[in-house]
Amino acid sequence: MNDPLAALRQEYDRHAGRSIALPIAGAIVWTVVAIAGAVLEPRLATFVLLFGTGLAFPVALALARPLGERLIDNPSPLAGLMGRSVVMVNLLWAVHLTLAVQDWAYLPLTLGIGLGLHWVVFGWVIGHPVGLVHAALRTVLVTAAWWVFPDARVSAVAAAVVLTYGYALAVLASRQRPG
């Protein structure tokens, strides 16, 4: 059977590799944020979170080439869809920055969930449940961490995000890829 979507997914995968550069970068950045949350006062740790999360993509770019992944020059139309889903996630910065001014205590919650929403699209693009599981698990764990640890929200939320990256990395590194 000739399945055009399967062919597109195979083409995306061929160029994207295992797709682990971004989750590795995210895990690194969120680990640094967790440490900052443990050693800095909450407001300062929140600013480390606010600015630190912007470093995930440059770190991923540095990791992608040695890992054989094409992050920004993947010719697959599905890579274009992924790029648009990242734009969608980045439009939430209007909310994050408003909260930074109005009530910075919500930033760990909104950044922890918001910066992971594109995983739903990514999972669909690769035809694997890892994206949906990552996004749902991340939402549940981040929300729980934010409520259960009100005095350590930055560290707790960051730890929750790192746990979800650990799950995603284990799945992505071992999944059977098409073709």
pLDDT digits (tens, 9 = 90+) for 40-57: 999 999 999 999 999 999
Q: Residue 161: is it exposed, middle or buried by C-beta count within 10 angstroms (0-12/13-18/19+)? A: buried
Instruction: Please write the tens of the pLDDT for every residue from 122-133.
Output: 999 999 999 999
Q: Is there a domain that residue 179 lies in?
A: no
Is residue 150 a contact partner of residue 117, using CB atoms and an 8 Å limit?
Answer: no
Asked whether residue 16 is domain-assigned, the answer is yes
Residue of 52, 47, 26, 40 whose CA lies nearest to 162: 26
The answer to whether residue 1 scores a pLDDT higher than 70 is no
CB burial of 29-68 (b: ≥16 within 10 Å; e: otherwise) equals bbeebbebbeeeebeebbebbbebbeebbebbeebbeeee
Q: Taking all residues of the chain, what is their mean pLDDT, rounded to a whole number?
A: 95
Domain for residue 39, yes or no?
Answer: yes
Residue 99 lies in a domain: yes
Judge contact between 49 and 36, C-beta under 8 A: yes
Residue-range definition of the domain harbouring residue 32: 4-173
Classify burial at 136, counting beta carbons within 10 Å of its beta carbon; exposed 0-12, middle 13-18, buried 19 or more: middle
Residue 179 has pLDDT above 70, yes or no: no
Per the listing, tokens 């690194």 go with 28
The verdict on residue 57 lying in a domain is: yes
Domain count, the chain: 1
Q: For residue 29, is it within any domain?
A: yes
Exposed/middle/buried for 82, CB within 10 Å: 0-12, 13-18, 19+? Answer: buried
Distance separating alpha carbons of residues 55 and 4, to the nearest angstrom: 36
Classify residue 70: in a domain, yes or no: yes
| Beta carbons of 20 and 172 less than 8 angstroms apart | yes
